Amino acid sequence: MAQFNQTISVDCVIFGFDGEQLNVLLVDRTLTKEGQEIFSDLTLTGNHIYEDEELDNAAARILFDLTGVKDIYLEQFGVFASPERLNHPNDRQWLLANGRNPDSRIVSVAYFSLIATKEITLEWKGRNVKWYPVNSVGTLAFDHNQILSKALAALRNKLRSAPIGFALLPEKFTLSQLQKIYEIILGTELDKRNFRKKIARMKYLIPLNEKQKGVAHKPAQLYVFDRDIYEKSKTEMFDFSI
Amino acid sequence: MAQFNQTISVDCVIFGFDGEQLNVLLVDRTLTKEGQEIFSDLTLTGNHIYEDEELDNAAARILFDLTGVKDIYLEQFGVFASPERLNHPNDRQWLLANGRNPDSRIVSVAYFSLIATKEITLEWKGRNVKWYPVNSVGTLAFDHNQILSKALAALRNKLRSAPIGFALLPEKFTLSQLQKIYEIILGTELDKRNFRKKIARMKYLIPLNEKQKGVAHKPAQLYVFDRDIYEKSKTEMFDFSI
């Protein structure tokens, strides 16, 4: 039977977009003793890696166990290895209750992931999993607030040089939805005209002969993201921004 | 006495610029047995972290032990954890000769660093340290070719959104030297006029009332990078590139 490596774990910060807010997937963590609840809080989805397992495969395994889906966008963005990261009393209790040594050094290699839909079935080792708006996440377990914070910065930084916003949208989307994603991630309002001028240059943003259905307002035109065209255009990008 | 953590190490990919080429700092690794040389190759500068040590501090310690200098630009860019990474026969021999178990899992958290000058005194635990052009590095120890490769990609990527090229230049430099850095890192020739137009927008690029000295050609104007102005302007950058 495959052994877990005691020192190295992977944590996945999974982002989703519901049309209004950027959300993050968090798992319930409740410690009970003799039927009494000691404490309850939230954590990111994570797991130790197997002794013979690559990091990327561990992250993909976690995502697959959670969603039943493969090939989800995953990006490694940092390692969290503070000697203090598991030192909070709640965390020490949790580790002890799970047969772990609370003084052992465990580092976490963190990935962020982008999921387009909320309709996937979410399950994580029998515990409750829910979407929470990133702006109203309370105190998380371990150093997961720090990991989430760095994930947001990594997401923001990545969006500046690669069109990853599409990974959060449904297959067909409107330009207003695309602008909303950029505004939410970059944390600022963008001028509509400038935005549309900029994205007009995206050769991989393809307008469809189709409009929105079932909306109260005037239906807007739908677009898709053409991954093949994007992959080809990537090799031409020797540009840099100031 | 502080203990080393057996699983976690840090490797530093240290880049330098000599006016012509991008170079990387490599350390001699020679295995001798009973006075006979078994093999000789090169490695990056790295070390295990201490049990109570933060990753960033470990990287800074390695740089300081190597150069005697603090506050050198350092950026964490990835973790290398393949179960196979230490499996080459030379590597197993080296580990055994150094009293290490060649079957143990050791992961490396990798940083890249940029050094402006070659005039620092380089020393690494009594072994030879030299600059090598990144384009003509041969087969390195362990998975260090892969680490170097990823470091170059990370450097290229970072340059697209932050003016880190300055960290490789002397305090005062010419625009031609700056363009050379961008061309070498991005791996392509840039149009001189377009480049100058772009950098003219850099508020933190300050022309001096001074020209080059001791050059055969017509002396060019010298510039400096104003870090304070850059730090202030960073908060205004909500731009993104396509």
- pLDDT tens for chain A, 242 residues long, are 679 999 999 999 999 998 889 999 999 999 999 999 999 999 999 999 999 999 999 999 999 998 888 888 999 999 999 999 999 999 999 999 989 899 999 999 999 999 986 666 677 888 889 999 999 999 999 999 999 999 999 999 889 888 899 999 999 999 999 999 999 999 899 999 999 998 888 899 999 999 999 888 999 999 999 989 988 877 555 556 54
CA distance A128 to chain B (A): 30
Nearest residue on chain A to B76, alpha-carbon basis: A78
A-B Cβ pairs (cutoff 8 Å, strict): 88
CA distance B219 to chain A (A): 27
A7 touches chain B (CB under 8 A): yes
Q: What tokens appear for A200 in the block?
A: 């007009």
Q: Identify the CATH assignment for A4-161 out of 1.10.3720.10, 1.10.287.3510, 3.90.79.10, 3.40.50.720.
A: 3.90.79.10
* Element housing A49 (H / E): strand A45-50
Single-letter residue type at B99: G
Alpha carbon distance A143, A87 (integer Å):
9
What is the ipTM score, two decimals? Answer: 0.85
In chain A, where the domains are located:
4-161, 164-233
- From the list A51, A79, A190, the residue facing B55 with the nearest CB is A79
- From the list A105, A161, A201, the residue facing B161 with the nearest CB is A161
Question: Hey, how many other C-beta atoms are within 10 angstroms of the C-beta on A179?
Answer: 18
Asked whether the beta carbons of residue B8 and residue A107 sit closer than 8 angstroms, the reply is: yes
> Which residues in chain B have their CB less than 8 angstroms from residue A190's CB?
238
pLDDT of residue A235: 57
Place of tokens 């944590």: A11
Nearest residue on chain A to B203, alpha-carbon basis: A242
B218: pLDDT confidence band, cut at 50, 70 and 90?
very high
A204 touches chain B (CB under 8 A): no
Q: What are phi and psi of A238, to 5 degrees?
A: -95, 20
Q: What tokens appear for B203 in the block?
A: 């508020």
CB proximity list for B236: less than 8 A, separation 6 or greater: none
Distances (CA, A) of B27 to A81, B132, B153: 26, 10, 22
Alpha carbon distance B156, B187 (integer Å):
9
Q: Which CATH architecture has domain A164-233?
A: Orthogonal Bundle (1.10)
**Mean of per-residue pLDDT scores for chain A:** 91
> Which residues in chain B have their CB less than 8 angstroms from residue A8's CB?
7, 81, 105, 107
CB proximity list for B143: less than 8 A, separation 6 or greater: B80, B82, B85, B108
Asked whether the beta carbons of residue A160 and residue B241 sit closer than 8 angstroms, the reply is: yes
Q: Strands (DSSP E) along chain B, which ranges?
A: 4-17, 22-33, 36-43, 45-50, 73-80, 107-115, 129-133, 205-211, 221-225
Q: Taking phi first (over 0 means left), then psi (-120 to 50 degrees means alpha), and beta for anything else, what does residue B232 get? A: alpha
Nearest residue on chain B to A7, alpha-carbon basis: B7
CA angle centred on A89, ends A87 and A92, rounded to 5°: 65
B199 touches chain A (CB under 8 A): yes
> Which residues in chain B have their CB less than 8 angstroms from residue A182's CB?
240
Radius of gyration of chain A (CA): 20
Asked whether the beta carbons of residue A240 and residue B161 sit closer than 8 angstroms, the reply is: yes
- Mean pLDDT, range B206-232, rounded to an integer: 92
CA distance A124 to chain B (A): 25
Q: Are A72 and A65 in contact (CB under 8 A)?
A: no
**How do residues A207-225 score in pLDDT, each as one tens digit?**
999 999 988 899 999 999 9
SS3 state at A57: helix
CA distance A240 to chain B (A): 4
What global pTM score does this model have?
A: 0.89
Asked whether the beta carbons of residue B55 and residue A81 sit closer than 8 angstroms, the reply is: yes
Give the mutation candidate from A79, A188, A194 for the B interface (greatest B CB count, under 10 A): A79
> Which residues in chain B have their CB less than 8 angstroms from residue A49's CB?
81
